[in-house]
Chains A and B, each alone.
Chain A
């Protein structure tokens, strides 16, 4: 069986060949991700996923991420409050700042900033960990001893992601609003009563649900992409580095693309 290399296409067809390669690559990724999801769902349905592994991942992905999520939420609230205060002074009633901070944090900054932080903190870690296991034959070793690496490594991480990201986003939303309120008082002199009055004026309960829905989508996408990339790692330590970088890029793009799809779908 000789390997046959593809002939070089004519110059005017090369753009088409590049498009073909890109779409071919995307189809390959999509197929593998679909297979990962089906296998994970089967592992859950046949009770092969241990609760202990899920709780372990909830701790690693959730509890250990709280400090960095808190820092990013505080800063998001403070910056939104300061910039809003600067723009509103002398033109718009200052209590509107409460509404702006709450809407910005709940609808956008809470879920997206938390997701971006988790891409680096959790997603990169998953890809590097599974990638290292792949290149050191540990994944093959699971198969060799008759165990399913999807049930042991993939499914617990996906379940944990869906559980912890909405909780972290909920925490980020609350902390972001509180820090924005404190910042508004310190920088513009807007008291908490006026801030909350402004916040209530334009508040929709749906916004909170929307925020948590986004969080759920991010919590699903981040581990799925990270695991998929980890499992397809090849080429030793350099390969792990390459795949982790690519994984972070894919996860970040996915978060931003999903974010762009949410308003037309759920905020009409």
Chain B
């Protein structure tokens, strides 16, 4: 297992995660589904210690996220690229500086300006952006789809072994949604990374992922292959699939 969630508990005003146990295998693309507010993004954030846990632990390549020292956490974060739901680009920095932030600090110190630029250039190209056009722009000058791609470039520029995707297609039109899904597939193949994807887009997620899970009321309702998920007899799972399909159809109609 490359990622192991062990008895993860988290509550804010009410319980969010209630004893989640889950493992992600090396090299697989793993999808996390579930209704809004069930703790999908919270679970993803615990992978690199962005949220303090009430109980439990997460291990990445055997190292503890919550019980290790600061150096261990830094090592883990170096191995992991995180794509935020709304890109979370740094407003005051240019695209160049934003992507440069993704290069680990100790590596950046040993890179010449030219080598650094080449690295950033490659990451932007991998994210299907034309570097010449965007490098000097600030996030406010980019479209939603472009921001997302810059966020992806920032996540992959450090050549991580694991990519975490938090709702990568949320807020995008159907054309951009398909493009980003293709990009996720393409990057997973090219970079040979393990991907964990939190998504509302059930059809897209099922088509991309090797295994999926469904979170409901802070607990795992299902873990298995996409085929098994489609055929699962659990009423909650079935209701979720039907509701999500209906919402997706509605969204497509409203975009036309």
A141 within 8 A of B: yes
Query: What is the minimal beta-carbon distance from A146 to any residue of chain B, in angstroms?
Result: 5
**Contact A3 B15, beta carbon cutoff 8 Å:** yes
Q: Is A144 an interface residue (CB 8 A)?
A: yes
CB distance from A160 to the nearest CB of B (A): 15
Q: Is A140 in contact with B88, judged by CB distance below 8 angstroms? A: yes
CA of A137 to CA of B86, assembled, Å: 8
Tell me how many residues of B have a C-beta within 8 Å of chain A: 31
Do B154 and A145 touch (CB < 8 A)? Answer: yes
Known: A141-B90, A146-B74. A1 touches B9 (CB 8 A): yes
> Contacts of A133 on B, CB cut-off 8 Å?
90-91
CB-defined contacts of A14 to chain B, threshold 8 Å: none
Inter-chain contact B86/A136, CB cutoff 8 Å:
yes
Q: With the chains together, A195 CA to B11 CA distance in Å?
A: 67
Is the C-beta of A187 less than 8 angstroms from some C-beta in chain B?
no
Digitize A128-157: 1 where CB-to-B-CB distance is under 8 Å, 0 elsewhere.
000011001110111111110000000000
Say yes or no: B78 contacts A146, CB within 8 Å: yes
CA distance A3 to B54 in the complex (A): 12
CB contacts (< 8 Å) of B133 on chain A: these are none
Number of residues of chain A lying within 8 A (CB) of chain B: 16
A143 touches B86 (CB 8 A): no
**Is B50 touching A136 in the complex (CB atoms < 8 A)?**
no
Q: Is B85 within 8 A of A143, CB to CB? A: no
Query: Which residues on A sit within 8 Å (CB–CB) of B48?
Result: 143-144
> Nearest Cβ distance between residue B140 and chain A, in whole angstroms?
12
B13→A141 contact, CB < 8 A: no
CB-contact partner of A145 in B14, B18, B45, B101, under 8 A:
B101
B13 to chain A, nearest CB (A): 7
- A137-B84, A137-B85 are contacts. A1–B91 as well, Cβ < 8 Å? no
Query: Does A146 lie within 8 Å of B11, measured CB to CB?
Result: no
Binding site for B on A (CB under 8 A): 1-3, 132-133, 136-138, 140-147
**Beyond A3-B13, A142-B90, A144-B80: 20 further Cβ-contacts under 8 Å?**
A1-B9, A1-B11, A1-B18, A3-B15, A132-B91, A136-B86, A136-B88, A136-B91, A137-B84, A137-B86, A138-B88, A138-B90, A140-B45, A140-B50, A141-B88, A143-B77, A144-B82, A145-B102, A145-B158, A146-B78
**Which 10 residue pairs of A and B lie closest in terms of their CB atoms, listed nearest first?**
A137-B88, A141-B88, A144-B82, A146-B77, A3-B14, A145-B101, A140-B50, A137-B84, A1-B9, A138-B88
